[in-house]
Amino acid sequence: QVQLVESGGDLVQAGASLRLSCRASGRIFSVGTMGWYRQAPGKQRELVATITTSPDYADSVKGRFTISRDNAKNTVYLQMNSLKPEDTAVYFCYATVRSSALLSRGDIFWGQGTQVTVSS
């Protein structure tokens, strides 16, 4: 089995920065795409950023958020700058993981979520 553990969520004021981390562990042969979604109260989960070899961002966070990964640690990061109250949400990381070389494609695993609250 594969586990994703997130950390870094907090309560901050508008304009502050936070760095989220998400590490995958367990039965891992290789990790493909990693990324972050978020879900605000009463809203659908939305894609924030993804990274395989290059990053991709939602328009709402471009220029403020930076996604990166450390392949040696199976970890993905989300550096969030210039935070706004509308960034308040539970942030979930995900990873596409091949658990064996015998598998031709990976399965998607999710973290448990970390709360980010931005006060005005």
Model pLDDT for residues 18-56, shown as the tens digit of each residue: 999 999 999 999 999 999 999 999 999 999 999 999 999
Tokens describing residue 82: 């210039």
Nearest to 9 by CA among 116, 118, 119, 120: 116
Distance CA 19, CA 79 (A): 4
User: What are the tens digits of pLDDT across the range 95-119?
Assistant: 999 998 898 889 999 999 999 999 9
Q: Are strands 89-98 and 75-80 parallel, antiparallel or unpaired?
A: unpaired
Distance CA 97, CA 65 (A): 24
Chain mean position to CA 26 = 18
